[in-house]
Amino acid sequence: MKVAAAQFATDLDKDANRATAVGAVRAAADRGATVVVLPEASMCGFGNPRTDLSEFAEPLDGAFVSALASVAAQTGLTIVAGMFEPAPAETRVFNTVAIVGPGGLVASYRKVHLYDALGWCESDRVQAGEADPSNAPVVPLGELSMGVMTCYDLRFPESARQLVDGGATVLLVPAAWVAGEHKVAHWRTLLGARAIENTAYVVAAAQPGPAYTGCSVILDPMGVVIGELGPDDGAGSSALVVAELDAGRVDEVRRALPVLANRRFSLTGRATAAPSRA
């Protein structure tokens, strides 16, 4: 199975963003991909800290997902893309990942861990999704199974392990990983760790510099990089990295390195409460 990660920048122009996303899907299809992962906030950028994202949010049957469903039906691809979905609190949104196949919406995930760190406060504008197995979709596709997490979730190994416990052999990570000191090193280290500790493929699609780190990457279950982009690729137009995934490789690594079978601790399903907003 060929999988693609697309790297491109978005802003508050939803029509332009949607065209870029559809173009990236078509480019992935031209290169033989079965699955394409688009960045976090593919539908609409974050804007500045005062931007009211609720004005841009769309339901899962809105224009963005409808456009993805149309191009998925035309190309046969499964598309994974970040968007903003209306939340019960009128001034906030869900940071959602939509998984769309040729038959339409397959599943969705609402980001659990919000980026309230390093001077940012995502929870000012975004409502956290439920930290619950029901909000941890794993989608079978051929001989592989795809689990989805988003950006800051990467810093919480329980998120990836929950997906792997649910059967995931591939971890898909749409991201808008904010640029800054040590951030590229953190990005690469954490992606490698999630691959190695879970003996799973990782496909990470990021927004490019200068605002974000770029460096979209595909890693095999040993943490070996099998495809990557640079920090600024896709800054002018979308860029794409494509790699072949093989279920047999997952089986081979899990036999040689049976960390999942050897572990002595498991997740209980209990979650801590989301932090309160002062």
Cα-flanking dihedrals φ and ψ of residue 170, to 5°? Answer: -135, 130
Backbone angles phi, psi at 152, to 5 degrees: -60, -25
Please report, for the chain, the start and end positions of each structural domain, with discontinuous segments joined by +: 2-262
What integer pLDDT is reported at residue 278 of this predicted model? Answer: 42
Exposed / middle / buried, residue 214 (Cβ in 10 Å: 0-12, 13-18, 19+): buried
Catalytic residue among 44, 85, 111, 215: 111
What is the C-alpha separation between 72 and 194, in angstroms, rounded? 28
3-state secondary structure of 6: strand
pLDDT category at 184 given cuts 50, 70, 90 is: very high
Between CA 117 and CA 120 the distance in angstroms is 5
- Rounded to the nearest integer, the mean pLDDT of the chain is 95
Mean pLDDT of 62-75: 98
pLDDT (tens digit, 9 = 90+) per residue, 150-178?
Answer: 999 999 999 999 999 999 999 999 999 99
CB-CB contact of 157 with 50 (8 Å): no
pLDDT digits (tens, 9 = 90+) for 8-38: 999 999 999 999 999 999 999 999 999 999 9
E-assigned strands of 160-258? 170-175, 201-206, 217-219, 225-228, 239-244
pLDDT-based confidence at residue 269 (cuts at 50, 70, 90) = low
DSSP-derived secondary structure for 71-96? HHHHH--EEEEEEEEE-SSTT-EEEE
Sign of the Cα torsion 248, 167, 153, 32 reads positive
Please say if 2 is a catalytic residue: no
Q: How high is the pLDDT of residue 272?
A: 59
Active-site residue, from 44, 85, 122, 151: 151
Percent of the chain topping pLDDT 70? 96
pLDDT digits (tens, 9 = 90+) for 218-235: 999 999 999 999 999 998
Instruction: Write down the catalytic residue from 14, 40, 58, 228.
Output: 40
Contacts of 181 (CB under 8 A, 6+ apart): none
CATH number for the domain running over 2-262: 3.60.110.10
Question: Annotated catalytic, 151?
Answer: yes
Determine whether 111 is an active site residue: yes
Q: pLDDT tens digits for 72-92?
A: 999 999 999 999 999 997 789
Per-residue pLDDT band for 273 (boundaries 50, 70, 90) equals: low
The rounded distance, in Å, linking the Cα atoms of 158 and 265 is 12
Report, as an integer, the average pLDDT of 247-271. 89
- Residue in the structure block whose two tokens are 């559809």: 22
Cα distances (angstroms) measured from residue 121 to each of 76, 118, 174, 219: 38, 9, 19, 30
